[in-house]
A and B are shown apart, each in its own frame.
Chain A
Amino acid sequence: MTTHAIDPIKFEVIRNALTQAAEEMAIALRRSAYSTNVKTRQDFSCAFFDKDLRSVAQAFTQPVHLGSFVRHVPVAVKRYGPENLDPGDMILSNDPYGGGVHLNDISLIGPVFYEDQLVGYTACLAHHVDVGGGAPASVGAFREVFQEGIIIPPIKFVVNGELDADLFRLVLSQIRSKRETAGDFRAQIASNRTGAIRVGEIIDKYGIDEFNQYIDEIIEYTDRRTRSEVAKLPNGVFQAEGFIDNDGFTDDVVKLAVKITIDDDGVRFDTTGSDPQRRAPVNSTFAQTFSACAYALRALMDRDLPVNDGFYRYVHVDAPEGTVTNCVHPAPVVGGWETHVRLNDLIFEALSSALPDAVCAGTKSMQCHAGFGGENHETGEYYCFLETLAGGYGGRSTSDGPDAVQSHGQNTENAPVEETESNYPVRITRYELVPDSEGPGEFRGGLGLRRDYMFPEEATFTILADRDKFGPRGLFGGENGSKSIYAIIKDGEEEHLSSKTTVQLKPGDVISYRTSGGGGYGEPFKRDPQVILEDALQGKISIERARERYGVDIDISRQQVNKQTTEELRSAK
């Protein structure tokens, strides 16, 4: 093959056309999918890998997947053997102990051939609303991975363009939400096909040799930019520790530890000191821990840095086997993302002394799953529903943490109330901010939110979340955000529930989530009184709280700050 000098315009065109191909995969998946979790909440990701299984282009959806998916796809293809794949074939896999994450995240991978030559792979991952196991939506507290649902090693699911009917029936028979899941699988196939067509069009234009040459350059370009970004980070060793509230079976906290070493060779994340794995849903696979570290590093870099193999090669992770940050078979994994996202908070806390203007205070940093299901009397089908709820974001050095938003690797949309009620036998009766839930600070944390679900029929509901013991941490004198509350309301009586529990509901029962507010940043008594007045006028912070936590006296009837008493309150501290 002859190598030509890189043409900068051609480079940009091919680079962006590949990203566009991944984006179109995402559009095809989203628009043809059936479950709310995929079609609306966008709990999926798509990517193109080159013939050597390096990630080249990714669709801009969920960072949690993108960091873990790039590890899972090469492992799955190598386990199956790329030599066993022909044009039109696709393999399916969700094996946590084969490079994967939790069972709900199922990857479909298809080789892309151009004139009989392998040129790469299109792959997509979707969080399926149900994969069987012990509770609807396949979330819940179990002892072993076998109880969590169907485990799929890499298998040929699509053969020469046709779905393998026997395998499809076998997989679907394990799953509660058959119609939706079947639709989501078809959407995944459509996604990979769309990507393969787009990649083929690019090669039509430039030829295979040039295509491969430019892929190398795309990765090298990212490598060069990542290297210069890493060089800008402060050298040193930074550490933090934190806790998951409980493991779902015992009330014992789960310790997480992270040590970050930045030197001229790059950035190394070490989770030694984290607790041994539990027979409980708090274990993260290596891919999940890797994804947490990749996200954190990416968030400290230039905003338009591409994310592909040239970036990932700078993420070095040491996670000791047998801990909650790198569990071994047969530990349950469904709550691994809770551990993953908490690691993000800890990484930023560890780096806060060195990078005070880059990081944020503690965020809700939990996935906060709400999963439920049962028989839908109207359709006669078994239905399942899953969503995750937002909370407060942490304050930053010059701005408040936004209210009610997803954090870190998680950026799934809320399920619209109207869509949810149109498809499932549930009524959402409240969806609102929780006043006074913010962590006070010069720049306060964001507010958490409340969402209440009322069930007109019997149903099984699983809460898989956290933060009912510790609110998100404040930074530099900022205070912690509120703890979360999970409750069941029966006949008007409210009873609090654990953050990891499955309950059977009777008609009329209500499950209520009130998620944590974000941690504050800086001393609350330094917060501008006029800004607190605005918070109070909007009803986000009560007058009592303004006085007690911020030392600001508000005269609400005159809509102004009482300056003299405020000075007295603040000087008394």
Chain B
Amino acid sequence: MTANSVGRYRIGVDIGGTFTDGTLVDSTTGRVTTSKVLSTPSDPASGFISAVQKLLDLDDSVKPEDIEHVVHATTVATNAIIEGKTAKTAFVTTEGFRDMLEIARQIRPSLYDLQFEKPAPLVPRQLCFEVPERLDAKGQVVTPLNEAALDKVVDRIAESGVEAVAVCLLHSYRNGDHEQRIGKAISAKLPNVIISLSSDVVPEFREYLRASTTVINSSVAPIVSTYLASISEKLQEAKITSELLVMQSNGGVYPAEAASENPVFMVESGPAAGAVAAASLGTALGHPNVISFDMGGTTAKASLIRNGKPNITKDYSVGGAAQSGTGAFGGASGYPIRTPVVDLVEIGAGGGSIAWVDSGGALRVGPQSAGADPGPVCYGLGGDQSTITDANLVLGRLDPEYFAGGEMSLNLEAARDAIRIQCAEPLGLSIEEAAHGIIEIANTAMVNALRLVSVQRGHDPRDFMLVGFGGAGPAHAVRLAEQAGIPRVLIPQGPGTASALGLLVTDVRMEGSSTLIIRADEIEHARITSEFDRLEAAGREAHRVAASASGPPVFERAIEMRYWGQSFELSVPAPARPTIDQTWIDDLTESFHGAHEMAYGFRANDEPVELVNLRLTTIGKIARPQMRKLESTGSDVSVIPKGERPVYFAENSGVKGVVHTPVYDRSKLPAGAVFDGPAIIEEPDCTTVIHPAWTVTIDEFGNLVIEINS
């Protein structure tokens, strides 16, 4: 490998429910190549490698050995949880606490609903086992681990035929010894079973939250590790030997081996990539406040970005209902995890969402999706239920001959028939009216998602720009902005694969933490030094795997602190002093008082302060690719439609019914061009619908900036 080829190209691959998107960036020129293939849910790795292969085929100057690294975002973990397809898993805990997962937090997910359900535990009660042992709150042994009883439990686990085991003992965040011994006993007998120990995954107190996080980790680990192994194998076959990195839920990336061991950090991998992409784009264009809207084939996701950063939360539940506000009980509808996640709202509305008429005679859309297989009716791949994509086609918003850049033709008649039989006739509507109803109902749900992240968090959508992407995003974004009161929409270059680009504009981040729970006036300084040294050594070791893909390791040290007696910590950066001494402690304490005053409006100078966790983040910087400007066309910014077709609009008072609408080829639109809606803008991976009363401007990078006419 020659020196100048190293670091030349990077590949991002984002697998969604319907499509798998690939992006290749030449980091020296900023040139972006994209690919889009149908996802292959039965074997996602084969869709992955087709997307990569297609990228290499598109540009034969790129050699597999020139690839610096490959970054991947995947919903494989989340899907397993949502679809109830997690691995068969056992749970081992302290005697007397077998029902920890069943009882959960003893609360109802919604206050006034007499028909509520508690989510079913991911481990059924017959696979929850107790072991006699007990630690106290200081981590000291009260009851030694009963090895004989443990052997019997291991035998029962062996008989049950599980693929994974989660172990969470009381107070193990203080002392992981019993968990370690249980882990060893299980692996001695069952070497192929994946074992997650709560003291490794998330060593934080509050047993249910730690147990839930650990159970999710173990129950998706068999699926994720098999999956990542098959991807690595396929990359090897394609002669790509560089590092495979995986997007985490917090917007950073980590090596595939870390992901296989700790998949709970990547449950929201795909959505995080979209938010990172929107944040990066907004910042580059001078719009640090944007709402990211990513609509694919199966779901739509919205997140709010302020000052260029997505909001990160540790109060997150997987598989929960869309939360209204920061409601205290929203989390009780899913499975809580205590790992950092980009704050977003995801709803079951995508191009493949199925339209149906319910028993009460109401037209409904989703949450069932035809996905990629069998897909919408118009794909002609065996799907027989009408979807949002079928409705867009019937309304003229998609071109049957120019789908996926003309690689795939769509069957308009089949889509019309399905909507006629399944929706229009039962409701006594015309086919167009029914199709339009499908779009508007889906839009209502998506507008609600936009409001959840903006209005419901007290932010006025009028102060934001909507960044619309994902395969189906640009077809809906303008109408959604109209309904949500957002005056400006941006559709980036390559909107169908923008999420995959998000994979290439972030850094390697690995979090390490150590629980102290000790008062500042009682701590030994040397202990902080030695714990940080230990975390740094572990961070360096973890970074070695990602060394070829990123810059040398940089460390961020923070201490999670609280007043002695509180339960919630504030994260305070470590004072920048070379040695940890009393001055260091004093500076840290003062920073905490200040942070507390900032957050809650008061400081309690006389109250003892407690150091709860030391946190060390190891960062491997990855240089951002340049954004590429459109080639100048001089002063000529005229645009000529490539054609015209009838499109059905009924949303605006001034326009109703079929309108002859110009159709533009996006690749021919020069920087500086300005034109009015209604219009359709086509490009290989998606179609942007410009509604009447909106104006499009092409900026210097080729983004579509669409603003409402005042």
Closest beta carbon of chain B to A379's beta carbon, Å: 10
With a 10 A CB-CB cut-off, give which of B100, B111, B563 has the most chain A CB atoms: B111
A551 CA to B114 CA, complexed, in Å:
28
**Does the CB pair A16–B568 fall under 8 Å?**
no
Taking a contact as CB atoms under 8 Å apart, the answer to whether B206 and A431 are in contact is no
B451 touches A406 (CB 8 A): no
Q: State the CA gap A430–B113 with chains docked (Å).
A: 30
Per the 8 Å Cβ criterion, residues 334-369 of A in contact with B are 348, 358-360
The answer to whether B98 and A32 have CB atoms under 8 Å apart is no
- Residue among A36, A193, A359, A540 making CB contact with B601, cutoff 8 Å: A193
> Which residue among A28, A40, A194, A431 has the maximum number of chain B CB atoms within 10 Å of its CB?
A431
**B-chain residues with CB within 8 Å of residue A416 when the two chains form the complex:** 205-209
B106 A405 Cβ-Cβ under 8 A: yes
- Given A34-B566, A183-B565: A399 in contact with B325 (beta carbons within 8 A): no
Once A416-B205, A431-B97 are accepted as A-B contacts, the answer to whether A16 and B456 lie under 8 Å apart by CB is yes
Does B600 lie within 8 Å of A427, measured CB to CB?
no
Residue of A nearest to B119 (CB): A402
The chain A residue with its CB closest to the CB of B566 is A34
Q: Give B130's nearest chain A residue, CB to CB.
A: A432
Q: Is B645 part of the binding interface, using a Cβ–Cβ cutoff of 8 Å?
A: no
Q: Determine the chain A residues whose CB is within 8 A of the CB of B173 once the complex forms.
A: 418
A429-B96 Cα distance, complex, nearest whole Å: 6
Interface membership of B103, Cβ < 8 A: yes
A63 and B111 in contact (CB under 8 A), knowing A418-B170, A432-B97, A538-B124?
yes
CA distance A327 to B543 in the complex (A): 68
Which chain B residues in 203-254 approach chain A with CB under 8 Å? 205-209
- B596 and A298 contacting across the interface, CB-CB below 8 Å: no
Closest to A388 in B: B106
The answer to whether the Cβ of A105 comes within 8 Å of any Cβ in the partner chain is: no
Partner among B103, B112, B205, B325 whose Cβ is within 8 Å of the Cβ of A433: B103
- B107 interface residue, CB < 8 Å from A? yes
Check A190 for interface membership: any CB of B closer than 8 A.
yes
Looking at chain B, what size class is its interface with the partner chain?
A: 35 or more
For residue A238, CB closer than 8 A to chain B, the reply is: no
Residues of A near B125 (CB, < 8 A) are: 538-540
Shortest CB–CB separation between residue A20 and chain B, in angstroms? 4
From A213-221, A251-259, A407-415, A459-467, the one touching the partner chain is: A407-415
B408 lies within 8 A of chain A by Cβ: no
B46 within 8 A of A: no
The reply to whether B112 and A9 contact each other, CB–CB distance below 8 Å, is no
Write out the residue numbers on chain A whose beta carbons fall within 8 Å of the beta carbon of B604.
Answer: 183, 186
Q: Is the CB of A449 within 8 A of B103?
A: yes
User: Which A residues, 1 to 37, have Cβ-Cβ distances below 8 Å to chain B?
Assistant: 9, 12-13, 16-17, 19-21, 23-24, 26-28, 30-34, 36
Q: Note all chain A residues with C-beta closer than 8 A to B451.
A: 12, 16
What residues of B have a CB within 8 angstroms of the CB of A390 in the complex?
A: 103, 106
Judged by a CB distance under 8 angstroms, whether B652 is at the interface is no
**Given A348-B114, A405-B107; A179-B325 close (CB under 8 Å):** no
Rounded to whole angstroms, the CA-CA distance of A34 and B608 in the bound complex is 12
Taking the closest CB of chain A, its distance from the CB of B663, in whole angstroms, is 32
A298 and B97 alpha carbons, distance in the complex (Å): 36
Q: How far is the CA of A60 from the CA of B136 in the complex (A)?
A: 35
A61 within 8 A of B: yes
Bound complex: CA A20 to CA B459 (Å) = 10
In the complex, B361 has a CB within 8 A of chain A = no
B155 at the interface (CB under 8 A from A): no
A33 touches B96 (CB 8 A): no
A282 located at the interface, meaning its Cβ lies under 8 Å from any Cβ of chain B in the complex: no
Asked if B581 lies at the interface with its beta carbon under 8 angstroms from chain A, I say no
Residues of A within 8 A of B596 (CB): 32
| Residues from chain B with Cβ under 8 Å of A359 in the complex | 114
For residue A185, give the distance in angstroms from its CB to the closest CB of chain B: 11
**Per-residue contact bits, chain A 446-482, to B (CB 8 Å; 1 contact, 0 not):** 0001001000000000000000000000000000000
Verify B325–A19 contact, CB threshold 8 A: yes
Q: A186 contacts which chain B residues (CB < 8 A)?
A: 602, 604
Q: Is the CB of B205 within 8 A of A60?
A: no
A189 contacts the other chain (Cβ, under 8 Å)? yes
Say yes or no: B602 contacts A303, CB within 8 Å: no
User: Knowing A390-B103, A399-B115, A433-B102 touch, does A12 contact B455 (C-beta < 8 A)?
Assistant: yes
Which one of B106, B125, B461 has the greatest number of beta carbons of chain A within 10 Å? B106
* CB closest chain-B residue, reference A535: B125
At the interface, yes or no: A403 with Cβ under 8 Å from chain B? Answer: yes
Q: Decide if A417 touches B563 in the complex (CB within 8 Å).
A: no
Q: Whole-angstrom distance from the CB of B157 to the nearest CB of chain A?
A: 16
A426 to B565, CA, bound (A): 16
Please, which residues of chain B bring their CB within 8 A of the CB of A452? 96
Q: Is the CB of B565 within 8 A of A422?
A: no
Which residues of chain A are within 8 angstroms of B287 by Cβ–Cβ distance? Answer: none
Fill in one digit per residue for B435-459: 1 if any A CB lies within 8 Å of its CB, else 0. Answer: 0000000000000000100011110
Given contacts A21-B458, A39-B566, A183-B563, contact A295 B112 (CB under 8 A): yes
Question: How far, in whole Å, are A419 and B457 apart by their CA atoms in the complex?
Answer: 30
- Chain B 557-572: CB-based contact to A (< 8 A → 1; otherwise 0): 0000001011110000
The answer to whether A422 and B106 touch (CB under 8 A), given A183-B565, A183-B566, A194-B601, is no
**When the two chains form their complex, are residues A430 and B96 in contact, meaning their CB atoms are under 8 A apart?**
yes
Q: Is the CB of A538 within 8 A of B126?
A: yes
CB closest chain-B residue, reference A421: B137
Which of B106, B208, B327, B601 has a CB less than 8 Å from the CB of A190? Answer: B601
Report A45 CB to chain B, min CB distance, Å: 10
A431–B171 Cα distance when bound, in Å, is 15
Instruction: Name the B residues within 8 Å of A16 (CB-CB).
Output: 325, 451, 455-456, 458
Question: Which residue of A is nearest B462, CB measured?
Answer: A9
Q: A23-B326, A417-B170 are in contact. Are A39 and B455 (CB under 8 A)?
A: no
Indicate if the CB atoms of A28 and B601 lie closer than 8 Å.
Answer: yes
* A180 close to chain B: CB less than 8 A: yes
Contact with B along A531-569 (1 / 0, CB 8 A): 000000111100000000000000000000000000000
Q: Is B117 an interface residue (CB 8 A)?
A: yes
A299 at the interface (CB under 8 A from B): yes
Query: Is B675 an interface position by the 8 A CB rule?
Result: no
Interface: B108 (CB within 8 A)? yes
B110 at interface by CB-CB < 8 Å: yes
Pick the contact of B325 from A23, A358, A427, A537 — CB < 8 Å? Answer: A23
Contact of A31 among B100, B107, B113, B566 (CB under 8 A): B566
Min CB gap A384→B, angstroms: 13
For the complex, give the distance between the alpha carbons of A282 and B191 in Å.
59
Of residues 361 through 414 on chain A, the ones whose CB sits less than 8 Å from some CB of chain B are 389-390, 396, 399, 402-406, 411-414
Residues of A within 8 A of B137 (CB): 418, 421-422
* Docked-complex contact A60 and B566, CB < 8 angstroms: no
Tell me whether A198 and B170 are in contact in the complex, defined as CB-CB below 8 angstroms, given that A60-B325, A303-B110 are known contacts.
Answer: no
Question: Chain B: which residue is nearest A9 at the CB level?
Answer: B485
Q: In the complex the two chains form, is B327's CB within 8 Å of A404's CB?
A: no
Contact B105–A413 (Cβ < 8 Å) = yes
Does A414 lie within 8 Å of B106, measured CB to CB? yes
**Cα separation A34 to B567 with both chains bound (whole Å):** 7
Check B600–A28 contact: CB distance below 8 A: yes
Q: List chain A residues, Cβ under 8 A from B457.
A: 20
User: CB-CB contacts of B599-618 with A at 8 A, as 1s and 0s?
Assistant: 11110100100000000000
In the complex, 16 of the A-B residue pairs with CB atoms within 8 angstroms, ordered by the A residue number, are: A28-B601, A30-B568, A34-B565, A39-B568, A180-B565, A193-B601, A299-B112, A299-B114, A404-B102, A405-B118, A417-B170, A418-B207, A421-B170, A422-B517, A428-B96, A431-B103
Q: Which 6 A-B pairs have the closest CB atoms?
A: A390-B106, A20-B458, A34-B565, A31-B568, A538-B125, A430-B96
User: What 18 additional pairs, Cβ within 8 angstroms, besides A16-B451, A28-B599, A449-B99?
Assistant: A13-B461, A32-B566, A32-B599, A40-B567, A42-B328, A60-B329, A183-B563, A183-B607, A186-B602, A197-B601, A298-B112, A299-B112, A396-B115, A406-B107, A414-B103, A418-B207, A419-B205, A430-B97
Which B residues lie at the A interface, using CB under 8 A? Answer: 96-100, 102-103, 105-108, 110-118, 124-126, 136-137, 142, 170-171, 173, 205-209, 324-329, 451, 455-458, 460-462, 485, 517, 563, 565-568, 596, 599-602, 604, 607
